[in-house]
Structure formats: C-alpha cells, structure tokens
C-alpha cells in the first residue's frame, strides 16, 4: 500500500508499506541505486515493513527539480 507524495516541512514525503521487513529492505536497496545515479540522497526511515522517504535539496533547503526527478525514480521501483 502506498500513499501519495505530500509536501511536509519543505520536503517531499511519502510512506510505503510492504508485506514484511525483507521487502522493505529490498525497496531501500533499490532506492540507493537510483539515488547514486542522480547523486542525490533522500532521508530514509525504516520501521519493520514501513519506509518513509523525505526528499529535499539540502544545499538550498527546499524542494527543487532534482527532488522531483528522484521522486519519479523512486515511484518507478517495483518489488
């Protein structure tokens, strides 16, 4: 189950819920590859089967086009 991305505290935020911890870790590892390709790294919070992603451009302390590019790449991940 996935919610939509929201803007919270000047960050793109989304919560993903998976079947179990293993699936959440597979997802996180796939995010790592996408983030490295863009050289842009999200904040990732993992609680068992739940993954919360926060994206913003740290150097500008706001959401930029690069954040939306990473968001789209994360949304394209299939488990």
What is the per-residue pLDDT across 6-56, written as a single tens digit (0 to 9) for each? 999 999 999 999 999 999 999 999 999 999 999 999 999 999 999 999 999
All domains of the chain in start order, with CATH: 6-75 (3.30.1360.20)
This prediction's pTM? 0.91
Confidence of residue 57 (pLDDT cuts 50, 70, 90): very high
Q: How far apart are CA 52 and CA 5, in angstroms?
A: 10
């Amino acid at each position: 189950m996935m919610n939509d991305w929201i803007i919270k505290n000047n960050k793109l935020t989304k919560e993903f819920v998976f079947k179990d911890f293993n699936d959440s870790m597979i997802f996180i590892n796939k995010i790592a590859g996408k983030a490295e390709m863009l050289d842009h790294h999200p904040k990732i919070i993992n609680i068992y089967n739940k993954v919360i992603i926060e994206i913003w451009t740290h150097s500008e302390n706001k959401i930029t086009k690069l954040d939306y590019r990473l968001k789209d790449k994360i949304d394209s991940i299939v488990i």
